[in-house]
A = this chain, B = another copy of it.
């Protein structure tokens, strides 16, 4: 089962938890045990899994990513978002999360985040649910 959803980002760089979208897709798929793939069809955005309890965790990831790969540097790509492309490749375009008993199976502190590196924009996320019983 394939689903697409859209989201709007509000800053140049930002992490947005998408767990509720994923839970909804898994529920509507009816799959009890399997795998949920999350794929970001953009080249200046990514997806990652990390802590959602303390918002400072995400701020630290964004700040360190910016320090290592600054927006302004000697890049050749002239659209002003070369850093966003590099950040996207370092964080990655996809994640895999298990499904068990009809629910997304994440660790206690884990949340799935859409990673915006060249916003604000309208973005899409593609999801596929695969049965494995």
A contact residues vs B (CB 8 Å cutoff): 1-2, 33, 35, 37, 39-43, 48-51, 54, 56-57, 59-61, 63-65, 68-69, 73, 75-79, 82, 85-86, 88-98, 100, 105-110, 124, 126, 128, 130-132
Contact = CB atoms under 8 A, between A and B. Distances in A.
Contact of A98 (B2, B42, B64, B88): B2
B51 A76 contact: no
A60 B85 contact: yes
Per CB-CB distance, the 9 closest pairs between chain A and chain B, nearest first, are A41-B107, A56-B76, A56-B77, A43-B51, A60-B82, A49-B93, A48-B89, A43-B109, A60-B75
A30 to B, nearest CB: 14
A128 B35 contact: yes
Copies of chain A in the complex: 3
Contacts of A1: 132
Contacts of A89: 48-50, 61, 91
B37 A96 contact: yes
30 contacts: A1-B132, A2-B33, A39-B96, A39-B98, A40-B107, A41-B106, A41-B110, A42-B110, A43-B109, A43-B110, A48-B89, A48-B92, A56-B75, A56-B76, A56-B78, A57-B77, A57-B82, A60-B86, A61-B85, A63-B76, A64-B69, A64-B73, A64-B86, A65-B86, A89-B91, A90-B90, A92-B92, A93-B95, A94-B96, A98-B126
